């Protein structure tokens, strides 16, 4: 089945540092989404990407849809304590049904 490889699995950084994480797939996706999940909560949508090559920002977050449609990355600039959490990439294929394939997640820890 379809799988997304997300890396790194965990990151330990200092407050103020920039963060970069990415997802790769052996399959093509038509949509890439990035979610953040806090403990005990559901994933919250951060950024959605719909076109190959698209670069989209949401505040300090920037994400790109790879030109091959098989990868995406998320950057967080000038990290702050509330950025702590688990970040997931998700891919969606064309076909009508709302089915997302998720990466394994990147756990972000920030040292103050």
Place of tokens 């093509």: 28
Dihedral sign for Cα atoms in the order 97, 103, 107, 108: negative
Give me Rg for the CA atoms of the chain.
Answer: 13
x/- letters, 55..84, toward another protein (CB under 8 A): ------------------------------
Closest distance of CB 96 from another protein, Å: 7
Site residues (CB under 8 A) for another protein, limited to 33-52: 33, 35, 40-45, 48, 50
Q: How far is the CB of 31 from another protein (least distance, A)?
A: 5
- For residues 62 and 56, is the Cβ–Cβ distance under 8 A? yes
């Amino acid at each position: 089945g379809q799988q997304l490889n997300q890396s790194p699995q965990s990151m330990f950084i200092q407050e103020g540092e920039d963060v970069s994480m990415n997802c790769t797939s052996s399959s093509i996706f038509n949509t890439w989404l990035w979610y953040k999940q806090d403990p005990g909560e559901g994933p919250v949508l951060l950024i959605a990407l719909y076109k190959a090559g698209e670069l989209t920002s949401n505040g300090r977050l920037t994400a790109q849809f790879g030109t091959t449609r098989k990868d995406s990355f998320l950057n967080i600039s000038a990290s702050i304590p509330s950025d702590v959490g688990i970040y997931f990439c998700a891919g969606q294929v064309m076909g009508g049904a709302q089915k997302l394939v998720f990466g394994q997640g990147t756990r972000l820890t920030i040292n103050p």
